[in-house]
């Protein structure tokens, strides 16, 4: 199952703080039922391409409903097909445990 790291940033807000938008994204991600891990700079999600793409679109729609006219989204994908990967297995591999 692919692993994604997503960062969705609304542009043109009236404040440098983005926690309001991170919270909106977080609530939408929780509702998705996908396994995820919130980090200080983005969110890691495990799921199929279609489910994650639809999730990102729902978050964009939520921002648009608030009047956000431009959104910058960055997605990194680790699509390892020779073995199953998890958040925990990737961290364990680096730490050597």
**pLDDT higher than threshold 90 for residue 43:** yes
Overall average pLDDT of the 8-21 stretch: 93
Mean of the per-residue pLDDT values of the chain:
95
Q: Is 48 helix (H, G, I), strand (E, B) or coil?
A: coil
Q: What range defines the domain where residue 8 resides?
A: 3-95
Nearest-10 Cα torsion for 24, 27, 32, 38: 90
pTM to 2 decimal places: 0.90
Q: How confident is the model at residue 96 (pLDDT cuts 50, 70, 90)?
A: confident
Query: Distances in Å between the alpha carbon of 62 and those of 9, 26, 72?
Result: 12, 12, 14
Provide the CATH number for the domain around residue 86: 3.30.70.930
**What single DSSP character describes residue 14?**
S
Strand partners, 3: 46, 78
Q: Which of 36-40, 73-77, 93-97 has the lowest mean pLDDT?
A: 93-97
Q: How many folded domains does the chain comprise? A: 1
């Amino acid at each position: 199952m692919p692993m994604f790291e997503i960062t969705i940033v609304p542009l043109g807000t009236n404040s440098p703080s983005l926690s309001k938008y991170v919270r909106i994204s977080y609530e939408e991600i929780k509702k998705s039922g996908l396994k995820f891990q919130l980090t200080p700079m983005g969110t890691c999600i495990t799921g199929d391409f279609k489910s994650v793409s639809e999730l990102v679109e729902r978050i964009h729609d939520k921002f648009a409903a608030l009047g956000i006219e431009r959104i910058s989204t960055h997605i990194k994908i680790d699509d390892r097909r020779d073995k199953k990967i998890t958040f925990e297995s990737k961290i364990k591999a680096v730490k050597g445990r």
